[in-house]
Amino acid sequence: MAKIIQVPSIVLPQVWQFGTETETVADLVTHTSIDIPVESLQEKVVHVMAVEVVAMGVPGNLLCWIETSPVPSTTSTAYYSAIGGGGGSLDPVTGLPYIPPTVPLVEAALGVNGTVHSISLPWEIHSAYCRLVVQTPVAPFAATAFWILQAVVSAKS
């Protein structure tokens, strides 16, 4: 049986089996992490390691933000809202992805294969749950240039 690391990946909606799992982001789709209970935590920070994978072209810029909610998404996604405005559930009519906050963190790609970007998303807003949301709204070379992500939360209790 594979060793299970008792740390949930917040990008992949599953428990890490090896600690090397990643999520590929290049498809113009909003990627949402699992719900993270943070009600009793202070000085919260989501640390994202984003690696550019480039065979040809440049990955689209990576947008990252934190959404908070008083209830988990299994209860309702309607309460999730991006810090800085925006966020919330999918539009039930159009099915379009979550609305980014008015000022999401934008990580610009350099177009150099293997470039590692370290991103920190701190917040102090009180909430019972949070989640990381990432997307590449423009990806002209999606098949040959993309991002590989891992993320982890740190906080004080």
Contacts 24+ apart (CB under 8 A), 15-23: 21/150, 22/148, 22/149, 22/150, 23/148, 23/149, 23/150
The tens place of each residue's pLDDT in the chain, 157 residues long, gives 444 344 445 555 555 566 666 777 766 777 888 888 899 888 899 889 999 988 888 888 898 999 888 988 878 777 788 887 776 666 555 555 566 787 889 999 998 999 999 999 999 888 999 888 888 877 555 578 888 888 888 888 7
The per-residue pLDDT for range 17-63, each reduced to its tens digit, is 666 667 777 667 778 888 888 998 888 998 899 999 888 888 888 98
Q: Where in the chain does DSSP place strands (E)?
A: 23-25, 31-32, 36-37, 42-54, 62-69, 81-82, 105-107, 116-123, 129-135, 145-156
Token readout for 46 is 């989501």
**pTM, entire model:** 0.79
Kindly list the structural domains of the chain, giving each domain's residue range(s) and its CATH number in brackets, ordered by start: 23-156 (2.60.120)
